[in-house]
Every structure is written in structure tokens, then in C-alpha cells.
Amino acid sequence: MSNTATISHDTGGKTPGAHPIVGHLVPTWLLVFVGTSLLMLTVITVAVRYIDIGEFNIVVALGVALVKATLVCLFFMHLRWDRSFNTLVFVVSVVLVLLMMAFLIMDTNQYRDTQFDGNAPNAESTLQANAPGAPVARFKPYSP
């Protein structure tokens, strides 16, 4: 955390091993540890794909993805030591996407019953699709 205490201009900033005057220096072992954890989590999540645990398959897959994303953000992207305002900017963007997703799913579920598969919303009430000669193409089984 004492990243500003060791300003070393007298070395000209070119000595190998010099400390940066800005930002945070993440230890190599921590970077390698995080990278190894990410690889192991990938192996785990691929293995779980071949086990049928019903609804929990997607929960596990997305949970592991969330853990991996958090590791990348905190350590590879330095958010752990960065200004918290940068974290705020990033988290807000993710929350906005989730908000849009939630409302759009609610919306499409709401109008689902009024839709013909593949037609514009309320197509049947506007175009009377069940009437003879209506523009919904008529169907005949395919016989090669």
C-alpha cells in the first residue's frame, strides 16, 4: 500500500526492480496463483457439464464464471488496490445490463400469449391469421 513512499527518481526510473511511482505492484506469486485458480475453475466447470444435476447445471456454470470474473477484476485488473470510483463505474454498468435483462424478460413473458410464433406482436388480432387467404402461409407436410 506504500506505493507512493518509494519514489526513486535518482535511479532515473530505469533500474530493474525499481518501484513504480504510480499504481500498485502485484506480486508475481499472486498473479500466477490467480492464473492457476482460473485454469482449475475452468476444468471444474467443464467437468460439471457432463453431470446431470438438473437446474443446478446453469447455476454452477454461471457461479463459477462469476468467481472467475471477480478474480480477474480484483487481481489482474488491479481493482483490489485501485480507486474505488473505478469499481463503481464498472459495477454500475453491469447492474444496468442486469436491470435491462430483467425487465425485457418480464416484458416478453407478459406478451407471450398474444403472439404467434415468429409473428409480430398481436399479429393475429390485426391480420386475422385464421381467416381463409390470410397472409400466414398455409401448411402442407413435406413429402420428398
Residues 28-67 that bind other proteins (CB under 8 A): 28, 31-32, 34-35, 38-39, 42-43, 45-46, 48-49, 51-53, 57-58, 61-62, 64-65
Helix (H) or strand (E) holding 101: helix 84-110
C-alpha cell at 29: 506469486
Shortest Å distance, C-beta 17 to other proteins: 6
Residues in the chain: 144
Contacts of residue 21, Cβ cutoff 8 Å, sequence gap at least 6? 4, 7, 8, 9, 13
Hey, which residues between 113 and 142 contact other proteins (CB under 8 A)?
Answer: 116-119, 123, 127-142
Shortest Å distance, C-beta 71 to other proteins: 10
Shortest Å distance, C-beta 114 to other proteins: 14
Is 71 in contact with 38 (CB distance < 8 Å)? yes
Helix (H) or strand (E) holding 37: helix 28-49
Shortest Å distance, C-beta 64 to other proteins: 7
User: In angstroms, rounded to a whole number, what is the distance separating the alpha carbons of residues 17 and 26?
Assistant: 13
Q: Choose which of 13, 114, 121, 122 interacts with other proteins (CB under 8 A).
A: 13
Number of residues this chain uses to bind other proteins (CB under 8 A): 91
Q: Choose which of 10, 22, 29, 110 interacts with other proteins (CB under 8 A).
A: 22
74 lines the binding site for other proteins (CB under 8 A): no
Shortest Å distance, C-beta 58 to other proteins: 7
Angle at 41 between CA 81 and CA 54, to 5 degrees: 125
